[in-house]
Amino acid sequence: MVNRFKAALKNFVYPDSKAVSKVQLSTRGHPGIKIGLCKDLLPQDNADIMLIEPITFKWKAKGTNFSLEIKEFGRNAPVYSEKTMLKKVDVPLAIFKPGRSYQWSLSEEETGEKCSATFSLLSKDESSRIMEVVNNLPTLLPSEADMETRCRLQAGYLVSEGLDYDAWRWLEWNGISQ
Contact between 72 and 79 (Cβ < 8 Å): yes
Q: What is the second-level CATH architecture of the domain 23-121? A: Sandwich (2.60)
**Dist CA 171 CA 152 (whole Å):** 7
**pLDDT by residue (tens digit) across 112-148?**
888 889 999 999 999 999 999 999 999 999 999 999 9
Contact between 74 and 96 (Cβ < 8 Å): no
Name the DSSP letter for residue 77: S
Q: What pLDDT, on the 0 to 100 scale, is given for residue 160?
A: 94
**Dist CA 139 CA 78 (whole Å):** 43
Which stretches of the chain drop beneath a pLDDT of 70? 18-39, 178
**Dist CA 137 CA 155 (whole Å):** 10
CATH 2.60.40.10 domain position(s) in the chain:
23-121
CA angle at residue 26 from 41 to 156, to 5 degrees?
A: 65
Q: Which helix (H) or strand (E) holds 26?
A: helix 23-26
Q: What is the pTM of this model?
A: 0.79
Q: What pLDDT, on the 0 to 100 scale, is given for residue 18?
A: 65
Q: Concatenate the DSSP letters of all residues of 104-167 into one string.
A: EEEEETTT--EEEEEEEEPPHHHHHHHHHHHHHGGGGS-TT--HHHHHHHHHHHHHHTT-HHHH
Q: What pLDDT, on the 0 to 100 scale, is given for residue 37?
A: 61
Q: Which of 72, 131, 63, 66 is nearest to 96 (CA)?
A: 72
